[in-house]
Amino acid sequence: MAEISSRQGKRIRLFIGEAETWQGKPLSQALLDLAVQHRVLSATVQRGIEGFGPEHHLSTERFVEISDNLPIIVEMIDTTEHVEALLTQLDPLVQRGMMTVTSVEIIQGWKE
């Protein structure tokens, strides 16, 4: 029998470049480590093939000469309270990039 539970939460999306670092390691790894440390419900790192940020500097894997800083999206999902507490931890780490926070419905299901 499948059981499904639903609750309200928030999704943090961090848009960074893969060249960004924090204390000597890739920023995406540092963000994921922070998510693990804070027992975030779900976290994913995605590498983009093309994109640009607020400065409109295009990064793409199509051309080697501009593929040095491809876009990375780090996404974290958890309860509203947990996400709001986590935001204070994330702010100092993301020096260049953009962050969005969106309300989501978290649906979890499993089979017994």
Domain assignment present for residue 3? The answer is no
> Is 38 part of any domain?
yes
**Residue 2 domain-assigned (yes or no):** no
Q: What is the CATH number of the domain that holds 19?
A: 3.30.70.120
Tens digits of residue pLDDT in 5-59: 888 999 999 999 888 999 999 999 999 999 999 999 999 999 987 776 666 666 6
**Structural domain that includes position 83:** 8-111
**Is residue 102, in this structure, part of any structural domain at all?**
yes
pLDDT of residue 59: 61
Give the separation between CA 104 and CA 97, rounded to whole angstroms: 22
Specify whether the CB–CB gap between 17 and 59 falls below 8 A.
yes
Number of separate domains in the chain: 1
What predicted TM-score, i.e. pTM, was given to this entire model? 0.81
Please answer whether residues 28 and 21 qualify as being in contact, where contact means their C-beta atoms are separated by less than 8 angstroms.
no
